[in-house]
Amino acid sequence: MIALVPQYPFIIAGTIKDNICYGIDRDVTIDEIKAAASKAYIDDFIESLPNSYDTLLSEDGSNLSGGQRQRIAISRIFLRKPKILILDEATSALDNTSEKYIQRQIEKLQRENKTTIISIAHRLTTLENCDSVLVFDKGHIIQKGKYKDLIEIPGTFQDMYNGKIK
């Protein structure tokens, strides 16, 4: 029902296939795994490896880049199809092109499965299509609204948007 993709995802010592299927309580076909990897924009990388989906990963995925670890973890959500998805800086290590592609896939997952997504992000472009954005400061909500509205209203969000606050 609930899935979490943190900034520093959990990677087990095992194959890429084992990591994509981690926590899934059903039999998963290789076609489903490949489709999930494609939606997470990591399929070309995996298929370029000599052992493809059977490539062994080290504990914590130290033989992967940060972006590759994030995309492995993002692959899991496409198999899980959760009702609630929490993305905690889940695309922070990705380039803009990869992030946009994955964001479109996550939005499609949201529409198809009526998934509620809670996205925690410092990269404001991640929040562009959110129904509602909450801006926090010291644990308190200081602004609330739609992305397009908040960039027009003087305050913390607009300052972040304009690069005045990092």
- DSSP state for residue 27 in the 8-state scheme: -
Res 104: pLDDT? 94
- Region 112-122 average pLDDT: 93
Res 121: pLDDT? 87
Cα Rg of the chain, angstroms: 17
Res 46: pLDDT? 98
Q: Catalytic site residue 99?
A: no
Distance CA 120, CA 17 (A): 27
Domain range list for the chain: 2-121, 133-166
- Region 88-101 average pLDDT: 91
What share of the chain in percent tops pLDDT 70?
A: 99
- Region 31-59 average pLDDT: 97
Per-residue pLDDT band at 50 (split at 50, 70, 90): very high
Res 84: pLDDT? 97
- Region 127-152 average pLDDT: 94
pTM for this entry: 0.88
Res 166: pLDDT? 66
CB atoms within 10 A of CB 150: 21
Report the topology of domain 2-121. Answer: Rossmann fold (3.40.50)
Task: Spot the catalytic one: 32, 47, 59, 89.
Answer: 89
